[in-house]
Chain A
């Protein structure tokens, strides 16, 4: 209880840092993930988040500091590569997306695991601290992290507001959008890049393995409460942010615990709480 008061009074500047970081992370993933759920591509988020691991490892090997913008760039590159690979092979072969998603996910992750063992041998296990990337460690967010998280979040929100109509159109009916001259490929590219960005900052709190939940679950909650897209996005962002907050509380009180699983459990409780609702309000 003491912990609870101390945490939620936000008097500790460190707590403020972590809370702000995780809330932003949750809000980004929640809103961007909504589009993935609407287009039934939730599992692509899973692929991208697992695939980020080797990117982070390579970035660390090139510039061995645990946190910072270079890890984010490594994550972006690997995430985009995996998305492109999954897309390319599923367009060009008889294999279905589900098989290719699983393949890309596990191959990238396999490479990541190889690199993690390499780092542990060459840089020392504790020093690397990369194990936090697997299951997340919200409390490890520092001032540098918060800076780039904020910048990335600003970019994501700005794009969401700027391209709201286009995103709505291409995710609802891509064929129609194409027919009236909307550049579907470009907007899809932007949307995918934003997703990778959200994932790349999200792993700080949730870790690569469970990241999919932070993309999927908030939009399920918001779809239960509204059927207007802009409201769904707002609620998703709020739910994502809230789960980040709860996750960082757990991380604060139980430092040995990975944060990711707790965030996922918070999210799932919210989903189960709204399941019976089915849009009873906000139905205008």
Chain B
């Protein structure tokens, strides 16, 4: 039963990440997703510290604040002739992550995160952290969080699809019509932050990136239709969760690490067959 919960939660994390990850890939801003997945750490630690481990709003709020600091400071630094976008991203995210790691070390006794945990999560403990409603055991908390987020994402993307498509494909044209590019960009950053925060505990900062990029990148190898990219990447996300779990089980190693590694195997597999299948 525990294994099933881990696979289900891993699948939800992968699905959520791949949904926003596709948007990041199409906008060529995957590295911002990578940076966000690290940068939320100090905010989350402060959230844990002030509001307690179980207060989701506090943690989300702290993470959103840190994400905002990242996005704004990258934009601010880019204006300096000294930094280009890539160096600004590399600098700011490492600084924020450093602050986070130091906070984790300082508050080690008060916060349930540790240095390794922030990198690769603790998905194996998912079944232990359960959600009780009126004393009834409803199952793991991460499951309900992931499921709730998935429902919200599907709803939001359903309605904002046109806007994201327009502003990603041809931002100049969108702006010429009076569409607020920046607002859409911030909107996406908020979605990514939400996904990162909910996924962080399960798979950690670096491995969130695997789930953000691998399903969509693999799908793009064999398809250039938006609908099939979403279908394929969702399927790939689930395959990664299931395959990664069994790889971990077989090698008795870290589950999230195996899932990330398995996403690479999947990518190579799709790469090899890409000329024979075109979806």
Residues of A within 8 A of B (CB): 37, 40-43, 45-46, 50, 89, 93-96, 98-103, 105-118, 121, 131, 134-135, 209-210, 212-213, 215-217, 219-220, 223-224, 256-258, 260-262, 264-265, 268, 271, 274-275, 278
Which residues of A are found within 8 Å of B99, using beta-carbon distances?
261, 265
Say yes or no: A106 contacts B206, CB within 8 Å: yes
Contact of B91 among A101, A220, A223 (CB under 8 A): A220
Q: Is the CB of B210 within 8 A of A271?
A: no
Beta-carbon contact of B260 and A107 below 8 Å? yes
Interface of A is mostly: helix
When A110-B263, A118-B251 are in contact, do A262 and B98 touch as well, CB less than 8 Å? yes
**Are B30 and A102 interface neighbours, CB within 8 A?**
yes
Enumerate 22 A-B pairs (CB-CB under 8 Å) in ascending A order: A42-B86, A42-B87, A93-B221, A99-B25, A105-B206, A106-B263, A107-B210, A110-B210, A110-B257, A110-B258, A110-B260, A110-B264, A111-B260, A111-B264, A114-B258, A118-B251, A118-B252, A220-B82, A224-B82, A261-B101, A262-B98, A264-B98
Minimum CB–CB distance for B203 against chain A, Å: 10
In-complex Cβ contact of B221 among A95, A109, A112, A135 (8 A)? A95
Given contacts A111-B261, A113-B253, 9 further A-B contacts (CB under 8 A): A43-B89, A50-B206, A95-B220, A105-B206, A109-B206, A110-B259, A213-B98, A261-B99, A278-B80
Indicate if the CB atoms of B98 and A217 lie closer than 8 Å.
no
How far is A262 from B30 in the complex, measured between Cα atoms in Å?
27
A110 touches B207 (CB 8 A): yes
Nearest-CB residue, chain A, relative to B105? A257
| Partner-binding segment picked from B112-120, B127-135, B140-148, B189-197 | B112-120
Q: How far is the CA of A264 from the CA of B152 in the complex (A)?
A: 37
- Contact stretch, chosen from B57-65, B160-168, B211-219: B211-219
A103 touches B264 (CB 8 A): yes
Main secondary structure, interface of B, reads helix
Residue numbers of B with Cβ under 8 A of A are: 25, 28-31, 33-34, 38, 77, 80-84, 86-87, 89-91, 94-95, 97-99, 101-102, 105, 115-116, 119-120, 206-207, 209-210, 212-214, 216-217, 220-221, 224, 248, 251-254, 256-264, 267, 271
| Residues A40 and B84 in contact, CB atoms below 8 Å apart | yes
**How far is it, in angstroms, between the C-alpha of A99 and the C-alpha of B263 when the chains are bound?**
13
Q: Are A105 and B95 in contact (CB under 8 A)?
A: no
Which residues on the A side are within 8 Å of B262 (C-beta)?
110
Closest 10 CB pairs of A and B: A110-B260, A113-B257, A107-B264, A261-B98, A106-B210, A213-B94, A114-B253, A110-B261, A264-B98, A114-B257
Closest Cβ of chain A: how far from B72's Cβ, in Å?
Answer: 15
A107 x B214 contact (CB < 8 A): yes
Q: How far is the CA of A261 from the CA of B83 in the complex (A)?
A: 21
- Given the contacts A106-B210, A262-B98, A268 and B248 also touching, CB distance less than 8 Å: no
In the complex, A109→B137 CA distance in Å? 36
Bound state CA distance, A111 and B254, in angstroms?
A: 9
CB-based contact B217/A268 at 8 Å: no
Q: Which A residues are in CB contact (< 8 Å) with B119?
A: 113, 134, 209
> Once the chains bind, are A114 and B261 in contact (CB under 8 Å)?
yes
Please measure, in the bound complex, the distance between the C-alpha atom of A149 and the C-alpha atom of B116, giving whole angstroms: 26
- Interchain CA distance A241-B49 in the complex, whole Å: 35
Say yes or no: B90 contacts A135, CB within 8 Å.
no
A149 vs B112: C-alpha distance when bound (angstroms): 36
Collect the chain A residues with CB atoms within 8 Å of residue B216's CB: 99
| Closest residue on chain A to residue B83 by CB atoms | A220
- Which of B91, B115, B214, B220 has a CB less than 8 Å from the CB of A258? B115
Which chain A residues lie closer than 8 Å to B263 at the CB level? 103, 106-107, 110
Which among B33, B220, B261 has the highest number of chain A CB atoms within 10 Å? B261
CB-CB < 8 A to B209: which residues of A? 102, 105-106
Query: Are the CB atoms of A102 and B34 closer together than 8 Å?
Result: yes
Minimum CB distance partner of B264 in chain A: A107
Tell me the bound Cα distance from A108 to B119 in angstroms: 13
Task: Quote the shortest CB–CB distance from A89 to chain B (angstroms).
Answer: 8
CB-based contact A109/B98 at 8 Å: no
Nearest chain-B residue to A108 (Cβ)?
A: B264
Residues of B within 8 A of A112 (CB): 257
CA distance A238 to B31 in the complex (A): 29
Minimum distance in angstroms from A14 CB to a CB of chain B? 22
Q: In the complex, what distance in Å separates the CA atom of A98 from the CA atom of B107?
A: 34
Q: How far is the CA of A116 from the CA of B91 in the complex (A)?
A: 27
Q: Do residues B90 and A209 form an inter-chain contact, with CB atoms below 8 A?
A: no
| Minimum C-beta distance from A30 to chain B (A) | 13
Given contacts A102-B209, A103-B213, A135-B115, contact A113 B220 (CB under 8 A): no
Residue numbers in B under 8 Å from A274 (CB-CB): 82
| Complex Cα spacing A94 to B33, Å | 20
| A134 and B264 contact, CB distance less than 8 A | no
